[in-house]
Structure 1
Amino acid sequence: MKYQASCHCGNVSFVFDSEIKEALSCNCSICERRGSLLIFIPRSELQLLTPEEAAVTYTFNKHTIKHRFCSTCGIHPYGEGLDPQGNAVAAINIRCVEGLDVAAIPVQYFDGKSA
């Protein structure tokens, strides 16, 4: 299914095609504060509708994940990184997906504090 997602103000907007069966909730220091619910897709499946420069990047700890957020409204709609096999992936914050009933999506919990 094709979805559209964006930050609150719309300066960062994108589409992706995926089946959302479940989301991941992580308790690492940034995810716990941010409250994201994430799905992971190949980065090539995320198509930006706004200029890439509209999303600024934050990294921390090992600096392997690019946490992308809007410099205007501060919302974090996606992140970028590599999976264990070295493939480029996007972590989509499903709370930013338009028209999605987030309460209907099963959530798996990940202990990012211990990872």
Structure 2
Amino acid sequence: MITESSNLIDLHGSCHCGAVRLTLPSMPDTGIKCNCSLCRRLGGLWAYYPFGAVVISGHPEHTTEYIWGDKTLRTIRCKTCGCATHWEPINGEPGARHGVNLNNFSLSLQEAVNIRYFDGADTWKYIDD
């Protein structure tokens, strides 16, 4: 386990109440802030991994999902505290990826990643280039 006390980053996070716990397979290089209608409401800071690479405990027994739009992914939140923890593809085909909300991890992890801004509301392009 990587710990903050040794100036390294802990790759373990959880929702507010702790019912859903996430362990990242590696330190993310980038966190994505998106302004689409859902992400701006959630306030998510997303990191992407191959589907199944993140260890998630408490899912699905402590989670609920929200499916919207083109119905290709589900946004997952804790049933108890309501924190959005991740999103995943509805059809987990080979090569699929999912997003993990880095707001469920330590501030030191969030501060260590490069944050990019994505215009998911209009152009579907990064707006910080």
TM-score, with normalisation over the residues of structure 2?
A: 0.77
Aligned residues with identical type, % of pairs:
27
Partner Cα separation in structure 2 for residue 25 and residue 51 of structure 1: 24
Is the CA contact 1:7–1:77 (under 8 Å) kept in the aligned structure 2?
yes
Match of 1:109 among 99, 113, 117: 117
Bigger mean CA offset, 2-11 vs 55-64? 2-11
Please, which of 24, 37, 61 is the counterpart of residue 32 of structure 2? 24
Q: How many residues align?
A: 113
Match of 2:96 among 80, 88, 97: 88
Q: Given residue 112 of structure 1, which amino acid in structure 2 is its aligned partner?
A: G
What letter is aligned with 1:103?
E
- How far apart, CA to CA, are the structure 1 residues paired with 2:85 and 2:59? 14
The alpha-carbon deviation at position 97 of structure 1 amounts to 1.5
Q: Quote the residue 1:33 is aligned against.
A: 41
Unaligned runs of 5+ in 1: none
Normalising to structure 1: TM-score of the pair?
0.85
Q: How does 1:49-60 map to 2 (within 5 A)?
A: 49-60=57-68
User: Counterpart of 2:28 in 1: which secondary structure?
Assistant: coil
Question: Which fold has the larger relative contact order, with Cα–Cα distance below 8 Å and residues 6 or more apart in sequence?
Answer: 1
* Conservation of the 8 A alpha-carbon contact between 2:15 and 2:104: yes
Q: CA deviation at 1:44?
A: 1.8
The unaligned stretches of length 5 or more in structure 2 are 3-9, 125-129
Deviations 1:83-111 (A, max 9, x none): xx962222011111246342342211111
Query: Secondary structure, in 3 states, of the residue corresponding to 2:61?
Result: helix
Moved over 6 A (4+): none
Q: CA RMSD in A?
A: 2.1
Structure 1 residues 43 and 64, CA, compared in 2 at 3 Å: closer, same or farther? same
Cα 1:51/1:21, change in 2 over 3 Å: closer
Computing the radius of gyration from Cα coordinates, the structure with the larger value is 2
